[in-house]
């Protein structure tokens, strides 16, 4: 790894917790919503798990959650699988 690579890794503290899971979550949610620019994912760590909190634009939360929460549960499953690559356990929360 070069000095340039190291400096780019240090630029975003949230992505260090679970970079693959965060990237997958961001990509999936942005592909579902009407306004992908409004999607934000914040990562925090507590009790040995990484918590990924997703915020979407007005009116898009229903699209992300889906009927009976099936879309949200599917997103959680995919992101947890991606998190194995980061060697962490993740919880995905969808915020208003």
CATH code of the domain covering residue 7: 3.30.300.20
Domains in the chain, number: 1
Query: pLDDT tens, 60-87?
Result: 999 999 999 999 999 999 999 999 999 9
Gap between the Cα atoms of 43 and 60, Å rounded: 20
- What domain range includes position 54? 3-95
Q: What is the pLDDT of residues 42-62, one digit of tens each?
A: 999 988 899 999 999 999 999
| The overall pTM is greater than 0.85 | no
């Amino acid at each position: 790894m070069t000095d340039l690579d190291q400096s780019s890794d240090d630029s975003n503290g949230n992505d260090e917790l679970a970079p693959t899971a965060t990237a997958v979550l961001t990509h999936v949610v942005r592909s579902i919503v009407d306004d992908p620019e409004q999607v934000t994912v914040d990562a925090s760590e507590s009790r040995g798990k990484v918590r990924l909190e997703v915020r979407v634009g007005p009116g898009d939360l229903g699209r992300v959650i889906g009927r009976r929460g099936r879309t949200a549960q599917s997103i959680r499953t995919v992101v947890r699988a991606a998190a194995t690559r980061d060697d962490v356990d993740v919880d995905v929360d969808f915020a208003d």
